[in-house]
Amino acid sequence: MITDLPPIEPPTNGELQRGSWTPLPAGDPLAAYLAARYAGQLGSRQTWEAARLSHAAAIYRERVSGWAVVAKFYTVKTGDNADRHARHEFEVTQQARAAGLAQGDYRALEPLAVWRGVLILEYVDGLTLEDVIAVRRHRPGELLPALERAARLLATLHAHGAQADAAPNPAQSTGYARKLVEQLARWGVLEGNQIVCDGLDNLIARWAASGTLAEYAPTLLHGDATTTNFVFPWDGGVVGIDWERLKVSDPAADLGRLMAEVSHSVHNHGGDVAEAVPLVDHLVAAYCAARACEAGFTDRLRFHRASSTLRIARNGWVSRLDRTALVAEALALLACCP
């Protein structure tokens, strides 16, 4: 639905919290829109409530029927450009679904509508991969299958999203890695540490000169393959969410990011490097079992995992000691240049 009305803000009810359903006032504009749009399937007697997912997203649920959607309020991040950004995510999510992820056990979340800067999405109830890692010791036997399903979703996207007319662009990967080093030097854990910064820059230059990063067939990527962006519904399968960074590039970039994120998540939830190694290896094996991995894929995985490890090291909520360890891990990965 196209409208000239300004973007709307998320519910401002101070009681709206994560994990809690809060009744919405009768004047809530999004609840009124949903009530009108879906009146045919929900009926005229509707009572709406919401629960916060993040500062910019909430679940809206009609209490009588239990029908629910996710609402992403782009005005929080993009202000007056909210509608344009919401429509972008709507369109790229459709693009991901067209690349083999529309249905079945491995699929992308269904986008439903854009209205006044709000992206309205299918709501999927289940655990994220981050959740599965966090409860792995209380729910044994679930993590390895979850890793396999996440790997298969990426493999399905990469296999169906091949871009025959696109050319490899290794400068995209090395440029991003250099940007991360620059950010870590400017206001991160590497501030004032020119020796380590120079070492990282030199290793990135070696990778660029090796030609290895150009040896891939471009395909669609999720672009933000983190542990929070894979949801496992209670009835099985896996659903990919948050497709706003979908792009065309090296498939190793998606898997390499997820490798770094899984390793870091294991550490965050009481594990260590020794525990993470076989889990990351299992993830890669599951991906390559679903989609043939060409020569050089493992080398490129190492680079992209290192780059994503530097990305995690930017996060201010990670302790300085852990950020330093992440930089050391990235250095070790980059040092193995083919």
What are the tens digits of pLDDT across the range 68-122?
A: 999 999 999 898 899 999 999 999 999 999 999 999 999 999 999 999 999 999 9
Give the model's pLDDT for residue 145.
98
What average pLDDT does the segment 232-260 reach?
98
* Average pLDDT for the chain: 94
The per-type count for the chain, helices as H runs and strands as E runs, is 12, 12
Q: Which of 304, 305, 324, 302 is nearest to 313 (CA)?
A: 324
Cα angle 182-226-140, degrees, rounded to a multiple of 5? 135
> Per-residue pLDDT averaged across 21-35, rounded?
91
Residues 6+ apart with CB under 8 A from 140: none
For residue 13, pLDDT over 70 is answered with no
**pLDDT given for residue 249 in this prediction:** 98
pLDDT score of 295: 85
* Domain locations in the chain as residue ranges: 22-123, 127-335
Q: What is the pLDDT of residues 161-185, one digit of tens each?
A: 999 999 999 999 999 999 999 999 9
Q: Over 60: is that where the pLDDT of 215 sits?
A: yes
**Would you state the structure tokens that stand for residue 169, as one six-digit string?**
């662009």
**Each residue of 107-137: pLDDT tens digit?**
999 999 999 999 999 999 999 999 999 999 9
Q: Rounded to whole angstroms, how far apart are CA atoms 306 and 259?
A: 10
Answer with the residue of higher pLDDT: 40 or 258.
Answer: 258
Q: Return the CATH architecture of domain 127-335.
A: Alpha-Beta Complex (3.90)
pLDDT value of residue 140: 96
Is the domain spanning 22-123 CATH 3.30.200? The answer is yes
Question: How far is Cα of residue 331 from the mean position of the Cα atoms in its chain?
Answer: 24
Query: Over 80: is that where the pLDDT of 316 sits?
Result: yes
Sequence-distant (≥ 6) Cβ neighbours of residue 233 within 8 angstroms: 124, 125, 126, 239
